[in-house]
Amino acid sequence: MLDMETLWAEVAEQFKKRSAPTAYETWVNTAKPVALDGNQLTIELPSALHRDYWKSNKMDQQLVEYAYQATHEDIQPVLVLEEELKRPVAKAPASTTANSDTPTFRKDIQLNSKYTFDTFVIGKGNQMAHAAALVVSEEPGAMYNPLLLYGGVGLGKTHLMHAIGNKMIDDNPSTKVKYVTSEAFTNDFINAIQTHSQEEFRQEYRNVDLLLVDDIQFFADKEGTQEEFFHTFNSLYNDNKQIVLTSDRLPNEIPKLQDRLVSRFAWGLSVDITPPDLETRIAILRNKANADRIDIPDDTLSYIAGQIDSNVRELEGALARVQAYSRLKSAPITTDLVADALQSLNLTDKVTQLTIPVIMTKVANYYHVSVADLKGKKRVKTIVMPRQIAMYLSRELTDSSLPKIGNEFGGKDHTTVIHAYDKIADQLKSDDALQKEIGDLKSELQH
Ligand SMILES: Nc1ncnc2c1ncn2[C@@H]1O[C@H](COP(=O)(O)OP(=O)(O)OP(=O)(O)O)[C@@H](O)[C@H]1O
C-alpha cells in the first residue's frame, strides 16, 4: 500500500492529465489529503462550495478510479472542510454498526471493525487459518501461541488478525489489544529511544492481552528492533498473553531474521493462506456486493471472479471499479459494462504486458549503456538521460506505482522518478530529436 503523500501525488496527477489547467488549480490543487486510515482517505477542502463541486461533478468517484489504478485497492474518499476538522468529532462506536461505505476503526487500537469473522468468507485456501484464528480468539494464550498467518498479498491475513481482536473485545470489552504493523513497531521503538521514553514504550507493548503484529517480514535487517521485539515477545509469552503475527512467508525465509526469533515464532502454529478458488471468489464478491448494496447479476459476478484470480484485494478493487464505472456512465451493472470497466486492466494478455526490466533492457541497448548503469548512481550525462527516459517509459507504459519504479531502478526514491518523468515530459515539448527517440522506443516496445 502506498503512503498518503504518494497516493495523493498519483491521484492529483491523473486529475491534472484529465482537467483543464484552471479547473485543476481551482478544485484539485486546493484539496489536501489529511489522513489515510486503512482504505479511507480523508481530504480537506477549503469550502462547502468546493465539496458541492466535487460531488456534483463526481470527482470523488473519479478519485476512486485513479486511486485504484495506483494501488489496486478500493480507496474510499471522505471529503471534509477545514472547520469540520477543528470541531470535536463524536467517537465512533466500538462495534460493527458501521455503514458499509465507511470503515470505522477502533481508533485507539486501529482495528477495522469491518474485519470480523462474520464478514470473512471461508474457502479451501483459508479454512485452516480461519479455524486457528477462531480458536485463538476463544482461548487466547492457550493453544496456539504465537499464531502466525502467512501467505501472499491481499489474501485476508490482516482481516483474520483484526477479527481475532474484534471478537476478543466483543466478548470482553476490557480486553487490551494492540495492533501494529512491524514498521509502526519499529518507528515507535526509534521514537522511544529519541525521546527517552523506552519505559512508556514497554508499558504500551507489554501490558496487553493480545498483541497483533502485521507484516513481520519488514523486521528483516532491523537488528535493534528485533532485539526489542524479542524482549516484548518473551514478556507477553511468559504472561500467557496471546501474540498473533502475519508475514508474506515463513520466518525462516525472512532474510536476516535472528534465529532466536525464528525459533520462537515456531513455538506456536504457522498456517498459510493460499489464493481462493473460483467458488470462494464468487462468494466473496457476492458478500461484498450485498454489504455495499450493489445490484449485480450472478453471471456478472461470476464473470468478474473468472477474470481476477490473483487475490481478494484485487477482486474487491475490481468491484469498486465496476461500481464507479457504472455510476460514471449512469448505467446498470451488466457483463458488458464490466468487460468495459475491466478492459484497461489488460487482464486478457497479462503475459504480454510490458515490464520494467524489459523497458530497461530496450533503453539500455538503444543508448549503448548497461542495465546496471540505469540502476546505478552515476551522474554522467550519457547515463542520466537514458535512465530518466527509462523511468519515463516505465511510468507511461506500465501501471507500476512510483515507488515500485524507484525500487526497480536500484532502490531510488519515488521523488526521483517524478523528477525524471517531469523532466522528460517537459523536454519532449520542444525537443524534436528526443520525440523521435522516444517514439522509436515506444513502437519497438509495443510491437
Ligand atoms: N476470505 C475473505 N472473505 C472476505 N474478505 C476477504 C477475505 N480475504 C480477504 N478479504 C478482504 O480482502 C482485502 C485484503 O485482505 P487483507 O488486507 O487481510 O490481506 P493481507 O493478506 O493482509 O494482505 P497484505 O499482505 O497485503 O497485508 C480486505 O479488504 C479483506 O477484507
Fold designation for 356-446: Chromosomal Replication Initiator Protein Dnaa; Chain: A; (1.10.1750)
Comparing 447 with 193, the larger pLDDT belongs to 193
- Domains of the chain by residue range: 4-81, 117-272, 278-349, 356-446
Q: Which atom of ligand 1 is nearest to the CA of 130?
A: 1
Q: Cα of 129 to ligand 1 centre, how many Å?
A: 12
- Please compute the mean of the pLDDT values over residues 107-113 and round it to a whole number: 72
Mean pLDDT value across the chain: 87
Three-class SS of residue 43? strand
pLDDT at residue number 90: 32
Q: Are 231 and 262 in contact (CB under 8 A)?
A: no
pLDDT at 104 over 60: no
pLDDT at residue number 25: 83
- Please compute the mean of the pLDDT values over residues 221-232 and round it to a whole number: 90
Task: Report CA Rg, the chain.
Answer: 24
ipTM of the complex: 0.98
Q: Cα of 199 to ligand 1 centre, how many Å?
A: 34
- How far apart CA 78 and CA 35 sit, in angstroms, is 10
Task: Please name the residues in contact with 80: beta carbons below 8 A apart, sequence gap of 6 or more.
Answer: 34, 42, 43, 44, 45
Q: Which of 72, 110, 254, 312 to mutate to test the pocket of ligand 1 (most atoms within 8 A of CB)?
A: 312
203-207, 220-224, 378-382, 417-421: range with lowest mean pLDDT? 220-224
Options 3.10.129.10, 1.20.120.450, 3.50.50.60, 1.10.8.60; CATH for 278-349 is: 1.10.8.60
Report residue 136 as a C-alpha cell.
Answer: 485463538
pLDDT at 108 over 60: no
- How far apart CA 338 and CA 341 sit, in angstroms, is 5
pLDDT at residue number 350: 43
Q: Which of 159, 164, 180, 177 is nearest to 228 (CA)?
A: 180
pLDDT tens per residue across span 137-146: 999 998 899 9
Q: Are 245 and 216 in contact (CB under 8 A)?
A: yes
Q: Cα of 283 to ligand 1 centre, how many Å?
A: 14
Break the chain down into helix, strand, coil percent, rounded to 5: 55, 10, 30
Beta strands in 132-209 (DSSP E): 147-151, 177-181
pLDDT at residue number 200: 92
Query: For the domain 4-81, what is the CATH superfamily, name and number?
Result: DnaA, N-terminal domain (3.30.300.180)
Q: Cα of 159 to ligand 1 centre, how many Å?
A: 5
Q: What distances in angstroms separate CA 282 from CA 37, 252, 296, 306, one per listed residue?
A: 27, 34, 12, 9
pLDDT at residue number 79: 85
pLDDT at residue number 346: 54
pLDDT at residue number 109: 61
pLDDT at 95 over 60: no
Q: Are 112 and 137 in contact (CB under 8 A)?
A: no
pLDDT tens per residue across span 278-295: 999 999 999 999 998 888
- How far apart CA 307 and CA 117 sit, in angstroms, is 26
Q: Are 90 and 104 in contact (CB under 8 A)?
A: no
Q: Which atom of ligand 1 is nearest to the CA of 155?
A: 21
Tell me what percent of the residues of the chain surpass a pLDDT of 70: 91
End-to-end CA gap in the chain: 32
pLDDT at 92 over 80: no
- Please compute the mean of the pLDDT values over residues 217-226 and round it to a whole number: 88
pLDDT at residue number 87: 44
- How far apart CA 149 and CA 151 sit, in angstroms, is 7
When pLDDT is cut at 50, 70 and 90, the band that residue 61 belongs to is confident
- Please compute the mean of the pLDDT values over residues 347-355 and round it to a whole number: 57
Report residue 248 as a C-alpha cell.
Answer: 508474506
Q: Which residues pair with 214 in a beta bridge?
A: 181
Q: Cα of 156 to ligand 1 centre, how many Å?
A: 3
Q: Which of 155, 216, 319 to mutate to test the pocket of ligand 1 (most atoms within 8 A of CB)?
A: 155
Q: Which atom of ligand 1 is nearest to the CA of 315?
A: 12
pLDDT at 91 over 60: no
pLDDT at 21 over 90: no
157 annotated among ligand-binding-site residues: yes
40-54, 364-378, 432-446: range with lowest mean pLDDT? 40-54
Residue nearest to atom 7 of ligand 1 (CA): 156
Options 3.40.50.1460, 3.50.50.60, 3.40.50.300, 3.90.1150.10; CATH for 117-272 is: 3.40.50.300
pLDDT at residue number 98: 36
Residue nearest to atom 23 of ligand 1 (CA): 154
- Please compute the mean of the pLDDT values over residues 387-399 and round it to a whole number: 92
Residue nearest to atom 29 of ligand 1 (CA): 313
Cα 370 versus chain centre, distance: 33
DSSP code at position 252: G
Q: What are phi and psi of 111, to 5 degrees?
A: -95, 130
Residue nearest to atom 18 of ligand 1 (CA): 156
pLDDT at 240 over 90: yes
Dihedral of alpha carbons 42, 44, 47, 50, sign:
negative
pLDDT at residue number 246: 96
- Please compute the mean of the pLDDT values over residues 230-246 and round it to a whole number: 96
Indicate the pTM of the whole model.
0.61
pLDDT at residue number 254: 87
When pLDDT is cut at 50, 70 and 90, the band that residue 84 belongs to is low
154 annotated among ligand-binding-site residues: yes
Q: Which atom of ligand 1 is nearest to the CA of 120?
A: 3
- Please compute the mean of the pLDDT values over residues 147-163 and round it to a whole number: 94
Q: How many CA atoms does the CB half-sphere of 319 hold within 13 Å? A: 28
Domains 117-272 and 356-446 share a fold: no
Q: Cα of 65 to ligand 1 centre, how many Å?
A: 20
Q: Which of 158, 279, 290 to mutate to test the pocket of ligand 1 (most atoms within 8 A of CB)?
A: 158
Pocket of ligand 1 (CB under 6 A): 115, 119-121, 126, 153-159, 215, 246, 248, 284, 312-313, 316
Residue nearest to atom 4 of ligand 1 (CA): 120
Q: Cα of 417 to ligand 1 centre, how many Å?
A: 30
Cα dihedral 366/369/375/379 (nearest 10): -120
106-110, 128-132, 242-246, 297-301: range with lowest mean pLDDT? 106-110
Q: Which atom of ligand 1 is nearest to the CA of 162?
A: 18
Residue nearest to atom 10 of ligand 1 (CA): 156
CA angle 12/310/292 to nearest 5° reads: 65
Q: Cα of 348 to ligand 1 centre, how many Å?
A: 24
pLDDT at 20 over 50: yes
pLDDT at 353 over 80: no
Residue nearest to atom 5 of ligand 1 (CA): 120
Q: Cα of 160 to ligand 1 centre, how many Å?
A: 8
